[in-house]
Structure formats: structure tokens, C-alpha cells
Amino acid sequence: MTTVESSLSRAQPGLRARLDVPRRITLAAALVVIGAVALLLGFIVWRGLQLFVASGVPVAQIFTTAWQPDPLSAGTNYGLLPFIGGTLAVMAVAAVIATPLSVGLALFLAEVAPGWARRIVQPAMEVFVGIPSVVYGWLGLVVLVPYLRTQFGWMGFATGFSWFAGSLVLSLMILPTITSISYDAFVVVPADMRSASLALGTTRWQAIRHVVLPTAATGVATAIVFGLMRAAGEALAVQMVIGNAPVIPTSLARPVTTLTSQITLDMSDATGTWNEALWTMGLVLLIISLTFVLIIRRLGRRSTPA
Amino acid sequence: MITTPAKRIGALAFAAAMVVAACGSSSSSPSAAATAAAPAASTSGSSSIAGPSSCVDGTITASGSTALQPLVDAAGKAYTAACPKSTISVQGGGSGTGLTQVSQGAVQIGDSDVTAESKLASPDAAALVDHVIAKQGWVVVVNNGVTGVTNLSSQQLQDIWACPNGQATPKITNWKDVGGPDMPIVLILRPASSGTRATFKSVVLNGQPECAGQALTEDSNGAVTTAVGQTPGAISVIGFAYYQSNKDKVTAISLDGVAGSVANMTDGSYKLSASGHMYTKGQPSGLTASFMDYMMSDPIQHTLIPSLFYAPVK
């Protein structure tokens, strides 16, 4: 490559510079993005630490359960456990609901579906992604919440606003994410492996169960983690249906709250230390997301399909 | 005749456009605005709001309280309609945002439901000048299925709402204890940072903490109205204007025997109300000062303010 370029530049002066233009453009784009990410991370970390640095709240206090941020009442306490617990709980149940559905759908699309079915389901998935979260939240509020209250009141859904309602709405929202990434993992499993399995006399289901699924396992795990990440960051739709009670989640039928939900509830009016506590919630959310990114990278290193 | 605030504002925009058109000024597109707003005006029949007595040119921004936003926005439009060289931009964002921004000098006016002292550090609060421009009121509302309850005393509301001294549940948790049906009470709160919740806490609860762990929390008047409307046994508090436009969805409850109305708020007999503040950093000057004077003028205080369900302060 180098020798070709240098001989070219000898042959035609200025050509080398022109060849360099795309490289510079792409490099600039990369630098802008890296810079933006670094600035964002730096800003959130800096603001998120002010609660401890500027206001002198002990770090251990955020791992308590009492959320009493109002400076006008006696004794403030910035316990973030209800929000951290709520975020993890709502997210986990959403993943439990969405994973079997999504992986099943992805397998159907990749292994079973005739061409025409794929042509219907894939655009349908894209529509799913395109629906704004406020619409999911609104549907949850006017359809799901009253339904849970009237049909499942005997199970403890006193108001319908609940951990379960939040998880169900979220599961619908992360379904396309998990489906499309799992689908990609299934289609890259080499056809030869399937053919070899079938040639040995296995049924199609046995081939899927013992060849396709294990080969694509890391890809599917990555899909689930991406789904969890999307779930952790979703605010609006969840906030509309979970009731936002700052308590440690104990029952799927009871209201809980999440980090994102509390940030959006309080951000317009909280000032001073209270405001700093919201930034600390943002930092905690960032740490949760970064943990997922690390998990995905670890999975990516392990996976070597084809 | 009952009209929604939105219609009133529409009518006002129409009236404003007419003023501009009548003056023959070179406003950008008065005819288009007039045509668009005309249907709203014809159904509301609202009278026009007179502009300020004298114009000051310039550009200012007010931000903050969403409860005061319809009023400040309507007044700003009436001012700029009469004074086309002035620009008054009105934004929401919440009282805390408005106070922070005016304190930083990012905006000229910070609208707030609560005093600056309750939101900002004392040196920042001391640098702001308070202009009380209206009174705003809130009404206790319940789900339409809660029958037989038309009035609640402050004591009863405290027993429904408050968890003093680390108590886990409120004293009263069933409507039958206050004369209603045998049905659990579902308490719906606003976020702790909201002006509505702060006012209710100080006026009705005497500062006792709410039972937040037992309650639902919804982040706006609209979300609260929807939640109360569809949840059996629900009770919450919403602003007057929101109640006026949702009278069929929720039921209003009198407080200590006094109905929540503009008249009762104006004469001081209804206590669940608070001053609407507009803060400036230091004494206002230029367009800001002129707009503040206009807020206190008769057209705003006695025509616009009651029409939007606020009460005048002079």
C-alpha cells in the first residue's frame, strides 16, 4: 500500500494529499465523537460527585433507604437504594419477560420463517422501535394500568400502578433490540454446520437446540445485555405506569420508582444539595450502563462464531 | 359560560392580533394569526386585554413555574401585541429552574410558586427582588366514585396524607372513616420538589411529612388528573385552572367548609392558595420594569387574571 501510494505521489504531485482527504474527514469525525463522549463522562462524574465534595454528604449515605431531600423539613437524608433497587428490579423482570419472546422470534425469523413471513415481521419490528416511548407510556397508563387493577386486583394490584406494569411496558420496548441482535447472531452461524448436523440425521429442532443455539450463545447474551441497557435508561414510559413510590421493591403488584423516573420528576424544581443528589443518581445510572458495556466487551472477546 | 384557559389564550391572541392590525403596524403576519385564532375567539366571547400605557423596546425572557406560565405568557403576548418592537419570551421549566436562571442572569424574570428563600442559598436569594403578581389556588379532588364526601377538614386531610414521627401508614386509609363508601383511599402526590406539594404541606399539613411510601407520585397537573380520574378511591390536589377544564373527570372537595373558587380565594376565605412570584435580579429596568408595571395594571389584574382562574393581588 505504502509503496503504491508513494509511487503514485511521485507520478502525480498532490495526489497523495487528495488521497488523504477521506482519512482526515473520518479521523475528524472520530475525534469529535470521542471528545463529546469524554466531555459528557467528565461532566456527569464531576457533577455527580458534588453531593459528596461540595455538600459533604457521606458516600455511605446513598446506600441507605430513606429519601428525604427536602431542605425545609428537619433532617435530610439522601438514600438512593430505593431508586437503584427499583431500576434493577424493573429492568430484570422486563428482561425475563422479553428474552424468551425475543429469542424465540429471532430463531423463527432466522431458522424457520419462510421468506414472506420475514418480510412482514422485520418491518413490524422496525415499527416497534419507531414508536416514541411516550406512546408506550400512554398506552400503559390508559390500558394496562386499569386492566391490572380491574382484572388482577385480587393479586394485590390495588391501583394497577406497579413494578409489573413498568416491567411489562419495558419488555415490549426492549423486545426489538434483543430480537434484532439475536437474529444477527443466528444468521451468522455457518450453513455448513446446520447441513452437517442434518446430514447426521438430526431433526431441525435438534440442529437448532444443539448446534445453532450454542454457537450463537454469546451473541444472544450480548443481545440481552443491550436490552438491559436500553431498559435501564428508559424514563418516560416507565414513570407513567410505576407509581413512583420511593420504596425498596418487595412486590410486583406495588408501586416502585427508578433512577430515571425520579430524575425527571424532580429535575425542574430541585435546587442546591437536592439537585446535586439528582446528578449523583445520573452518575449511578452511568456506572450501571458502563458495567453493561464492560460485560458486552468481555462477551465480544470470547465470541468467535465463524 | 365556561371556557378553557386554552380558549381564553386563543381569544387573547386573536384580540392581540386585532390590536396590531388596527394600528396598521408592520407586524409580520397579523392577518394569518387572526384567521387562525378566530374560531376560538368566536366561541369564548372573551373581552380583549388592553396593552400597556407606554411601550419600552427590548427583548426579555421569563422562565420558571408551569403553574404561572399561562398567565405570564398571556400577559407577554398582550404586551408585545401592543408594542411590536418588544419581545417577551416565556418558558416553563419549573420554579426551581426559573429561580436558578434569574439568579445566574440567564433570564430577566424567574417565575415561582414558592419564595426564593426556600429554593436558593441565602446570598443568591437576597440578590433577588420579589414581585407578587397574583394568587393561585389548588383544589382537593377525588375520583368520581367517591360519593357522599363533599367536604374535608384540614384535620381529616392530615390524617389521610401525613405520616408524622416515622409512622408507616396514615391514620385514615378508608373512605368510610370520613363519610364515604367502604373503599381504600389511594393518595396521589406531586414530586417533593413541586410548588403544589410544598404549598399543601405548609398550608394544610402544618409541615408534617407525606406518606410517600404508600402513595403514587405523578409529575404534573395533567398526569394527576388522569390518575385520579381512573383510579377508584384516589385523592389528590390540582390547580384551579386544571380543575375547571376537567370538571367531568374528577370531583372537587371543599376544604374546611369553603369551596375552592376564585371568589373565595380573592376574599381570603379559601386557604389553599399561594402567591405567584416573579423575581428579578436587583430592581428591574427597561422592558422588564415596564412589563412588571403592566402585570400590576388593571387590564391584567382585573380582566386577565380572573379569566385564567387566578386571583388579583390589588
Would you give the DSSP letter of residue A143? I
Nearest by CB: A266 against B66, B99, B193: B193
Would you give the DSSP letter of residue A155? G
Those residues with Cβ within 8 angstroms of residue B250's Cβ, 6 or more apart along the chain or in another chain: B141, B142, B143, B144, B225, B228, B229, B238, B243
| Contact between B230 and A145 using a beta-carbon 8 Å cutoff | yes
Give the whole-number percent of chain B exceeding pLDDT 70. Answer: 85
User: How long, in residues, is chain A?
Assistant: 306
Which of the four pLDDT bands, split at 50, 70 and 90, describes residue A12? low
- In a domain? residue B170: yes
A65 near A78, Cβ under 8 Å?
Answer: no
Q: Is A272 on the interface with B (CB under 8 A)?
A: yes
| B181 and B301 part of one domain | no
**Angle at CA of residue A149, ends A147 and A155, nearest 5°:** 115
User: What's the CATH number where B243 sits?
Assistant: 3.40.190.10
| Contacting residues of B for A67, CB less than 8 Å apart | 212
| B45 and B69 part of one domain | yes
Distance (Å) from the alpha carbon of B41 to chain A's nearest alpha carbon: 31
- In a domain? residue B150: yes
| B141 and B219 part of one domain | yes
Q: How many domains does chain B have?
A: 2
| Contact between A246 and B213 using a beta-carbon 8 Å cutoff | yes
| B237 and B292 part of one domain | no
| B111 and B160 part of one domain | no
pLDDT digits (tens, 9 = 90+) for A133-169: 999 999 999 999 999 999 998 898 989 999 999 999 9
Q: Is A203 on the interface with B (CB under 8 A)?
A: no
Instruction: Give pLDDT, residue B222.
Output: 85
CA A263 to chain centroid, in Å, comes to 17
Helices (H), A114-162: 115-130, 133-139, 145-152
Nearest by CB: B216 against A243, A266, A268: A243
Which residue of chain B has the CA closest to A71? B118
Which of the four pLDDT bands, split at 50, 70 and 90, describes residue B36? very low
Lowest mean pLDDT among A81-85, A114-118, A199-203: A114-118
| Contacting residues of A for B218, CB less than 8 Å apart | 244
- Indicate left, alpha or beta for B134 from its phi (over 0: left) and psi (-120 to 50: alpha): beta
| Contact between B97 and A268 using a beta-carbon 8 Å cutoff | yes
Neighbours of B58 (CB within 10 A): 17
| B26 and B45 part of one domain | no
| B147 and B255 part of one domain | yes
pLDDT digits (tens, 9 = 90+) for A278-295: 999 999 999 999 999 899
What is the distance between the alpha carbons of residues B61 and A235, in angstroms, rounded to a whole number? 29
Distance (Å) from the alpha carbon of A277 to chain B's nearest alpha carbon: 13
| Contacting residues of A for B212, CB less than 8 Å apart | 67, 245-246
| B142 and B283 part of one domain | no
- In a domain? residue B190: yes
* Residue linked to cell 387574571: B305
| B231 and B125 part of one domain | no
| B143 and B191 part of one domain | yes
| Contact between A247 and B223 using a beta-carbon 8 Å cutoff | no
Neighbours of A110 (CB within 10 A): 20
- pLDDT over threshold 80, residue A222: yes
Which residue of chain B has the CA closest to A69? B192
Q: Is A166 on the interface with B (CB under 8 A)?
A: no
Nearest by CB: A268 against B93, B214, B230: B93
Which of the four pLDDT bands, split at 50, 70 and 90, describes residue A3? low
Q: Is A274 on the interface with B (CB under 8 A)?
A: yes
| B218 and B290 part of one domain | no
Q: Is A72 on the interface with B (CB under 8 A)?
A: yes
Instruction: Give pLDDT, residue A163.
Output: 96
Range of the domain at B261: 17-38+137-266
Distance (Å) from the alpha carbon of B21 to chain A's nearest alpha carbon: 38
Distance (Å) from the alpha carbon of A233 to chain B's nearest alpha carbon: 18
| Contacting residues of B for A70, CB less than 8 Å apart | 192-193
Which residue of chain A has the CA closest to B211? A245
pLDDT digits (tens, 9 = 90+) for B290-302: 999 999 999 999 9
Residue A158 main-chain phi, psi, to 5 deg? -60, -40
Q: Is A159 on the interface with B (CB under 8 A)?
A: yes
- In a domain? residue B4: no
Instruction: Give pLDDT, residue A14.
Output: 73
pTM of structure: 0.80
| B145 and B234 part of one domain | yes
Mean pLDDT taken over chain B:
84
